[in-house]
Amino acid sequence: MLRLGKREFGAHEPVIMAIVNRTPDSFYDRGATFADDAALARVERAVAEGAAIVDIGGVKAGPGEEVTAEEEARRTVGFVAEVRRRFPDVIISVDTWRAEVGEAVCEAGADLLNDAWGGVDPGLAEVAARHRVGLVCTHAGRAEPRTRPHRVAYDDVMADVLDVTVGLAERAVALGVPRESVLIDPGHDFNKNTRHSLEATRRLDEMVATGWPVLVSLSNKDFVGETLDRPVKERLIGTLATTAVSAWLGAQVYRVHEVAETRQVLDMVASIAGHRPPATARRGLA
């Protein structure tokens, strides 16, 4: 059972997390939701299309202009409070690696802290424990935030993913984060080359076998682009193919830009797996 905010999800219930970037320089939307009105419209549309979680980020993952903790908080805290006011039932996640930002957004109403940089600030898990909110424990290959991989190597990438994410998850629970609110994430592209991310996808069932709910952040990433030799705006098909494979292997939460398309893929896979009935079934019955 996965419990986040006011919601509970069964073991075979796929969950969509919609990306809402509060940055002027995000790699995909180039600041399309930096303004408050545009960001709120994005939340409204994502919820209407089937997202249970919105993931609000104030710093882009890649290198770029320095964003201080104060500026990150300015971009996220007030927005979290407004989303909480307008959408009382949506699960609010905040993508941050900083404990001080985590503290502020939890006070504003966040339900989940998405630690995409793999515990680089150990205090973030302590914040999650203190506020009794969820935590995403990600494998980032021990990289510093906002750095790109350079000649990175693993003896066994999935062994390292499991060691790091399970260790972070167990530490979080020991600190007081509710066990049913902890997720693990293989960290596609984070301190990994394309072959590493492909292998992590191929072996996702090993993460699922740990018993921790698995979150994947696949949407339009570089490993998709390199695999198919496609620019950022032409990676949807590759993303959805990877989503279908991840769903079949048991991942539960999907961090995405395109909510409606992802919903159809997840519903189709769930129906093939026997976890969801067809929306309608008339063929051959009349």
User: Would the pTM of this model clear 0.75, i.e. be above it?
Assistant: yes
**Would you say residue 70 lies in a domain?**
no
Q: What is the CATH number of the domain that holds 121?
A: 3.20.20.20
**Could you give the CA distance from residue 4 to residue 22 in angstroms, rounded to a whole number?**
22
Q: Is the dihedral of CA 203, 201, 11, 268 positive or negative?
A: negative
Q: Which pLDDT value is given to residue 31? A: 74
CA distances from 4 to 18, 102, 122, 156 (A): 15, 16, 21, 32
Q: Is residue 193 part of a domain?
A: yes
How confident is the model at residue 26, as a pLDDT?
A: 78
Is 113 among the domain residues? yes
Q: How many domains does the chain have?
A: 1
pLDDT over 80 at 28, yes or no: no
The answer to whether 20 and 26 have CB atoms below 8 angstroms apart is no
Residues ≥6 apart with Cβ < 8 Å to 120: 97, 140, 144, 145
Indicate whether 100 belongs to any domain: yes
- Is residue 45 included in any domain, yes or no? no
The full 3-state SS of 260-274, as one line of letters, equals HHHHHHHHHHHHHHC
Which range marks the domain in which residue 179 is found? 91-273
**Torsion angle, alpha carbons of 177, 15, 137, 183, to 10:** 50
Q: Please give the share of the chain, as a percent, with pLDDT higher than 90.
A: 94
pLDDT at res. 152? 96
Q: How sure is the predictor about 34, in pLDDT bands with cuts at 50, 70 and 90?
A: confident
Cβ–Cβ under 8 Å, residues 57 and 22: yes
**Domain-embedded: residue 23:** no
pLDDT(207) > 90 = yes
Q: Is the pLDDT of residue 212 over 80?
A: yes
In a domain, 252, yes or no: yes
Instruction: State the average pLDDT over residues 164-179.
Output: 98
What mean pLDDT do residues 196-205 have?
98
Q: How confident is the model at residue 246 (pLDDT cuts 50, 70, 90)?
A: very high
Across residues 211-237, what is the average pLDDT? Answer: 98
Residue 164 lies in a domain: yes
Which residues are CB-neighbours of 229 under 8 A, at least 6 positions away?
none
Instruction: Give tens-digit pLDDT for 63-115.
Output: 988 999 999 999 999 999 999 999 999 999 999 999 999 999 999 999 999 99
Residue 60 has pLDDT above 80, yes or no: yes
3-state DSSP assignment of residue 94: strand
pLDDT at 29 over 80: no
CB contact set of 283 (below 8 Å; sequence gap of 6+) = none
